Amino acid sequence: MAKKSPLAPARFPAIPAVKGVRIGAARCGLRYRGRDDLMLAELASGTTVAGVFTTSSMASAPVEWCRAALKGGRVRAIVVNSGNANAFTGAPGVASVGRTVAAAAKLFGCPRKQVFVASTGVIGEFLEDKKITAALPKLRAKGLSAEGWKAAAGAIRTTDTFSKGAVRTADIAGTSVTIAGIAKGSGMISPDMATSLSFVFTDARIPAPVLQAALRRANDKSFNCISADSDTSTSDTVLLSATGKGARHELVARLGDAHFKDFRRQLDEVMADLAQQTVRDGEGASKFVTIDVTGAADNGAARRIGFTIVNSPLVKTAIAGEDANWGRIVMAVGKSGERVEQNRLKISIGGVDITDAGRVRPDYDEAPVAAHLKGKEIGIAVDVGANGGKGRGRARVWGCDLTHDYIDINASYRS
Amino acid sequence: MAKKSPLAPARFPAIPAVKGVRIGAARCGLRYRGRDDLMLAELASGTTVAGVFTTSSMASAPVEWCRAALKGGRVRAIVVNSGNANAFTGAPGVASVGRTVAAAAKLFGCPRKQVFVASTGVIGEFLEDKKITAALPKLRAKGLSAEGWKAAAGAIRTTDTFSKGAVRTADIAGTSVTIAGIAKGSGMISPDMATSLSFVFTDARIPAPVLQAALRRANDKSFNCISADSDTSTSDTVLLSATGKGARHELVARLGDAHFKDFRRQLDEVMADLAQQTVRDGEGASKFVTIDVTGAADNGAARRIGFTIVNSPLVKTAIAGEDANWGRIVMAVGKSGERVEQNRLKISIGGVDITDAGRVRPDYDEAPVAAHLKGKEIGIAVDVGANGGKGRGRARVWGCDLTHDYIDINASYRS
């Protein structure tokens, strides 16, 4: 296994029990040897569920199953394997999902549509679902607990160099609830073993439609704001389950309820934490990059500009090389296709203003920028001055640099 | 200077005189030491001109000048420097272009708008145009000749590892004319020292509007079909000059003239040749990749799918690693956002069919694909089966792999 990312947090967080959630892991031997590769979560009866999935038109069989099952709005079990994505596997792949779902539904005595599945690993190889269904009964009987977070986060890893977890406490009208999640993904978004998966749980009681709306918005501010290498997985999946088994709290009826505000804020934080950890484990990443874009025509334009910068191979290699090559940021903004004004473009790195009036500032001093680039946390701010400087669109995106290790990992990955 | 690309042609082609064109190079010492960095072309009076330029909203001062000058449709001189892009240089950059143009116009006794300029090199540094204007008189007096092609192609290089030239003979209603060109660019499209520049010349007599239409179409089949690293320069420029000083031929009045057909075909070939050489000099490239996309909703969709594949870092690193990882091609097609049908997707590499019915073919044999990937010329064909398999959109794009050398070149480029 590759050495731990230099951008990893010091440790996996201490995640308490989330009432109504039992979780655990096992080895079913799909691809890896000597490590867990199967995760199972059991949710209390009545648990509501929300989900967001990859936009790829080559979505995997598990993703298509989850999309359909989500219409029921309830979840009793989540089954996740690593080592094989069950993607681009045609009718046999669909049948494989069917058998896994049937086995779990039987085990938990629930309708099939309350079983959610996710798979991450190599594309195009048939999934030996027998290994999964054979391992499930014992895992359910002996492997689940209220404290299985770290084991679960470990089992869903592929090329990840560390396990990812996050937890926050939220207040709903004076009652405290917990939001906890795990994630995997190293390179947001690569198709083989770096799909982004995230499973978040709360003991709050929230109707499925409200949960879905909250998740979609939180996702737009977290997993939709990260990019490690600009590639998009066939399998990206985020599921949010609400058991309603925590302390009783005031009813949440609508997304806009005032007493739901803190929950949403904490959900945003859990998701942003997990998304940022995913970037910190970007394949070969040695620097974590935060890009703030302001002055765009709208927020969507700002996000696209941010991604154009953070995905530019020339910007990424300059950051890897600790080179204050701000001209490459100019280039990236220019190729974005969004409304921008060259003479109003303001670029700063590490808080140092670099450009003004369509050129470098006369007082620009590269020394503090060069010093900033030697660190692991890089901040770039760009105001694009759209609409005569009246543009109000803004966005923050996160990414990482492009290093030799990325090529080492990906040029020899399957072998 | 980096070692020559392994994908370089054996030698610079033998380019004959193109009547009405005198070309040459000199050292003006902008950035490089011990090599030419200034190119000058003198065109006969009455030469028509066409041009296409970067789509970047951060276009350089020379590009903006050329765009405006092009309205006149005539060219007497083309002045090109390497080492400094004069991009994102604000009002001083515009003034610098003005002084260079004025000096050349005086030298050739022509209107300013018949002088075209291009600059390639570092972004954001002020161009010492004095060095250019000081060198021009001597270069004009003693440095120009009908045979200066190779010297000119050398002077416009930045990180290019070889000089790029191409020539074809065309027939206009029984009369033979010549089309010759030079280009630079290593990494299509990177902003600093890998801008794509191309200067093509013919001794045919062609009205400026027809020349412009022919160039735009040829460009769509050449420089608009290549990508080395997905980044777009602030300075990309292609100029096509027609002196009308060759053998007299039948009048060309319209793009659709039957007797203009062979010229257009040969122009396409010269441009495709130059564009492909540019990719073959992609920074760090070790393999030349041709992607054929068929079955798309339209030709534009096919081209976008082709670029999504050829720009995918995971596809590029797999090719560098000689790994028959076709799942990454599935991923890239899926993320393109274009209409595609998973169950009709057909992928072949090196002529070997890999997928069918939404999965790998039962008879797929990886051995010949692995052997193909060990070569330097990689062919990938993808039929995306849009519109129930009735899609007729097709495109061919060219690219290269992503290697350690790309990172070495770009992580330490400015220093």
The string of pLDDT tens digits covering residues B61-93 is 999 999 999 999 999 999 999 999 999 999 999
Q: Which long-range contacts (CB under 8 A, 24 or more apart) does A252-258 make?
A: A252/A172, A252/A204, A252/A205, A252/A206, A252/A207, A252/A210, A253/A207, A253/A210, A254/A210, A255/A210, A255/A213, A255/A214, A255/A217
Residue B265 confidence (pLDDT) above 50: yes
For residue A226, the model assigns a pLDDT of 84
Residue A297: its chain B contacts at CB < 8 A?
A: none
For residue B193, the model assigns a pLDDT of 37
Pairing of strands B77-84, B115-122: parallel
Going from the C-alpha of A204 to that of each of A94, A140, A332, B115, the distances in angstroms are 33, 24, 43, 72
Cβ-contact A241, A78 below 8 angstroms: yes
Q: Which of A235, A286, A314, A319 to mutate to test the interface with B (most CBs of B within 10 A)?
A: A314
Residue A124 confidence (pLDDT) above 70: yes
Looking at domain B21-280, what is its CATH homologous superfamily? L-amino peptidase D-ALA esterase/amidase (3.60.70.12)
Give the ipTM of the model, two decimals please. Answer: 0.82
Residues in Cβ contact with A72 at an 8 Å cutoff, skipping those fewer than 6 apart: A111, A113, A114
Query: Hey, are the CB atoms on B57 and A231 less than 8 Å from each other?
Result: no
Q: What angle do CA A55, A57, A62 make, to 5 degrees?
A: 80
CATH number of B288-411: 3.10.20.340
pLDDT digits (tens, 9 = 90+) for B272-316: 999 999 989 987 889 999 999 999 999 999 999 999 999 888 899
Every domain range in chain B assigned CATH 3.60.70.12: 21-280
Residue B258, chain A, CB below 8 Å: the answer is no
Residue A189 confidence (pLDDT) above 70: no
pLDDT digits (tens, 9 = 90+) for A30-87: 998 999 999 999 999 999 999 999 888 889 999 999 999 999 999 999 999 999 999 9
Residue A191 confidence (pLDDT) above 50: no
- In whole angstroms, what is the distance from residue B142 CA to residue B331 CA? 56
Centre a 10 Å sphere on the Cβ of residue B116 and count the other Cβ atoms it contains.
26
For residue A195, the model assigns a pLDDT of 72
Chain A residue nearest residue B336, CA to CA: A56
Mean pLDDT for A11-24 is 98
- In whole angstroms, what is the distance from residue B223 CA to residue B304 CA? 14
For residue A194, the model assigns a pLDDT of 53
Residue A190 confidence (pLDDT) above 50: no
The residues with which A194 forms a beta bridge, in sequence order, are A190
E runs forming strands in A31-135? 38-43, 48-53, 77-84, 115-122
Name residue B277's amino acid: Q
Mean pLDDT for A182-202 is 72
Every domain range in chain A assigned CATH 3.10.20.340: 288-411
Residue B327: its chain A contacts at CB < 8 A?
A: 85, 87-88, 122-124, 191-192
How far, rounded to the nearest angstrom, does the alpha carbon of residue B308 sit from its chain's CA centroid? 19
Please identify among residues 124-143 of chain A the ones whose CB lies closer than 8 Å to any CB of chain B: 124-125
Residue A124: its chain B contacts at CB < 8 A?
A: 326-327, 330, 355, 359-360
Mean pLDDT for B183-208 is 77
Q: Which of A211-220, A255-264, A273-282 has the lowest mean pLDDT?
A: A273-282
Quick one: pLDDT band at residue B350, thresholds 50, 70, 90?
very high
Picking from A294, A372, A285, the residue whose alpha carbon sits closest to that of residue A333 is A294
Chain B residue nearest residue A91, CA to CA: B358
- In whole angstroms, what is the distance from residue A169 CA to residue B128 CA? 60
Residue B282: its chain A contacts at CB < 8 A?
A: none
For residue B94, the model assigns a pLDDT of 97
**Each residue of A392-401: b (16+ CB within 10 Å) or e?**
ebbbbbbbbb
Mean pLDDT for A292-304 is 96
Residue A326: its chain B contacts at CB < 8 A?
A: 124
Q: Which of A53, A88, A310, A369 to mutate to test the interface with B (most CBs of B within 10 A)?
A: A88
Residue B1, chain A, CB below 8 Å: the answer is no
Pairing of strands A175-184, A164-172: antiparallel
- In whole angstroms, what is the distance from residue A78 CA to residue A39 CA? 8
pLDDT digits (tens, 9 = 90+) for A336-363: 889 999 999 999 999 999 999 999 999 9
For residue B2, the model assigns a pLDDT of 66
Query: Does the annotation count B133 as an active-site position?
Result: no
For residue B69, the model assigns a pLDDT of 98
- Minimum distance, in Å, between the CA of residue B47 and any CA atom of chain A: 32
Residue B328, chain A, CB below 8 Å: the answer is yes
Six-digit token string for B171:
């027939």
Residue A231 confidence (pLDDT) above 70: no
- Minimum distance, in Å, between the CA of residue A408 and any CA atom of chain B: 8
Q: Which of A249-263, A327-341, B280-294, B401-415 has the lowest mean pLDDT?
A: B401-415
**What 8-state DSSP symbol labels residue A223?**
G
- In whole angstroms, what is the distance from residue A36 CA to residue A155 CA? 5
pLDDT digits (tens, 9 = 90+) for A377-393: 999 999 999 999 999 99
For residue B231, the model assigns a pLDDT of 67
For residue A192, the model assigns a pLDDT of 39
Percentage with pLDDT > 70 across chain B: 95
> What kind and span of H or E run contains A405?
helix A404-411
Quick one: pLDDT band at residue B108, thresholds 50, 70, 90?
very high
- In whole angstroms, what is the distance from residue B333 CA to residue B329 CA? 6
For residue B282, the model assigns a pLDDT of 83
Please identify among residues 345-374 of chain B the ones whose CB lies closer than 8 Å to any CB of chain A: 345, 355, 357-360
Q: Is the pTM of this model over 0.90?
A: no
